Structure 1
Amino acid sequence: MNRLEGKVALITGGSRGIGAAVAFRLAEEGADTVLTYENSAERANEVAERIKASGRRALAVRADSADPEALTAAVDEAAATFGRLDILVNNAGVFHVGPLDDMEPAEIDRTLAVNVRAPFTASKAAVRHMDRGGGRIISIGSNVAERAVFPGLALYSMSKTALVGMTKGLARELGPRGVTVNLVHPGPTDTDANPADGPNAETIAGFTAVGRYAEAAEIAATVAHLAGPDGAYITGASIHVDGGFTA
């Protein structure tokens, strides 16, 4: 399980949920790990300390993904602290839902800033440090990019669908530089923000083919595959890890 030995990974929004699961899995496979957080300093440091206890280096950096300068500085700090940057996981996101008529400009702006601009900004900053070849950029999308089963998802669905175009465009641009770019679309996943025992969980799980929520570790496993040597020939892809939600 040392396929990522010697690699350095940065996960945005890595203090909980899928982001934390990705951080743990990449560290388990040998990577030193940097994670960003906005407000959850205690939880982010707990993740970092758990990774350190496993024998890997880890760092938690505060950065609001809506702030391009702060995000770029976090990427540069990761590379400067550990001497390189090989893997970027664009995980941080916000989830604003509601009727079109009620959506405020501030909600629209923040959703697009965090869910669309931030992955592009972080990718731009990260690729400067991926000069050895073999770099990996992996973004976390959503099953609702293709199937919005409830009203009120238009803004969020739009923001995640934008990542498809970004992934394809960057894959074509960065392929000659030895960097792959991929997108993982999780289905309903058991996290604090969307618990498998929540009020609408039974209905949501019923939209999948397997009839259940994913564990965050199941999403992280696909990210780890794309980040490792076995994922070297995969780029420009949108991979659904959604239990058949979009089947």
Structure 2
Amino acid sequence: MLEAETLAQQPGSPVRFLILISGRGSNMQAIVQAIAARGLPAEVCAVLSNRPDAAGLEWARSRGIPAETLSHRAFDSREAFDQALAQRIDELAPDYVLLAGFMRVLGADLVRRFEGRIVNIHPSLLPAFPGLHTHAQALAQGVQWHGCTVHFVTPVLDHGPIIAQGAIPVLPGDTADALAGRLLALEHHVYTEVAAWLARRQVSIGGDGLVRVAGAERRAFTAHDLTP
């Protein structure tokens, strides 16, 4: 896998993020706000959704960010959709593609084409609980800690080099909805930290397939990190 530090086409220019969403894009909103609030050397070149009714599209447009729809329903196969998406990614020329609640499984060919450049956030402490219904899975297994993982995407679903994780305790009486709601703020924090590292070109992948983040004191977060 390529070293992520080498992927930016022009080292002196802001890192370009393309963010993919399928709904309101709360993680997308957190990243956009963090770029502005923290003065990160990055820009969101576009927000793209596979759903024309995704609420996050209008939010992005209201902040001057190009927002587009590429509906998967307009294509007769997953492969055709992936080909169109890959073409659009090439046209937008991002340094990184950030999946932020993008509810489509990307095909192996597309993932390999942009190897080391696609980042996802998954609502579990991977490798535990890949796939859907992660909060219900966690409760069913009786785990005491649950969380989120930001990772590079590989052709294997919800797999790939881990960049950062966040964890919360599972409380007595928790439901799947309660876990999801309590985790969301931590998801925003973890993903924006990763976006900052990517913007500053601190992230690389070693020959052992593990992620290094230059200058980062730690890559694990808890709810205590949300306290002002």
Secondary structure of the residue that 2:106 maps to in structure 1? helix
CA shift for structure 1 position 87:
0.9
Q: 2:191 aligns with which of 200, 220, 229?
A: 220
Distance verdict in 2 for CA 1:93–1:137, change over 3 Å: closer
Residue matched to 2:140: 151
Deviations 1:23-43 (A, max 9, x none): 444576331332222335362
Q: 1:149 to 1:220 in 2, by over 3 A?
A: closer
Provide the C-alpha distance between the structure 1 equivalents of 2:117 and 2:71, rounded to a whole number of angstroms: 21
Show the counterpart of 2:179.
Answer: 204
Residue 21 of structure 1: SS of its match in structure 2? helix
- Whole-Å Cα distance in 2 between the matches of residues 79 and 21 of structure 1? 25
Matched-pair identity in %: 11
2:20 and 2:98 in contact (8 A); partners too = yes
Question: Could you say which residue in structure 2 is the equivalent of 1:32?
Answer: 44
- Aligned counterpart in structure 1 of residue 80 of structure 2, from 39, 62, 69: 69
Provide closer, same or farther for how the CA distance between residues 58 and 67 of structure 1 changes in structure 2, counting only shifts above 3 A. same
Residue 237 of structure 1 pairs with residue 225 of structure 2: no
Q: Which structure shows the bigger proportion of residues in helix conformation? A: 1
**Structure 1 alignment gaps of length 5 or more:** 95-113, 128-134, 169-181, 189-198, 206-210
Question: Aligned residue for 2:90?
Answer: 79
| 1:20 is aligned to 2:29 | yes
* 8 Å contact from structure 1 (residues 163, 183) kept in 2: no
Distance 1:43 1:4 in 2: 33
Do 1:8 and 1:85's aligned partners in 2 also have CA atoms closer than 8 Å? Answer: yes
Aligned residues: 174
The yes-or-no answer on 1:49 pairing with 2:30 is no
Question: Please, what TM-score do these two structures have when normalized by structure 1?
Answer: 0.50
Match 1:88 to one of 97, 114, 136:
97
Q: Per-residue displacement from partner, 1:137-164 (whole Å, max 9, x unpaired)?
A: 32212324337531289xxx9xx99556
Structure with greater proportional strand content: 2
Counterpart secondary structure, 2:97: strand
Q: Is the Cα–Cα contact under 8 Å of residues 186 and 222 in structure 2 kept in the other structure?
A: no
* Alpha-carbon RMSD: 4.4
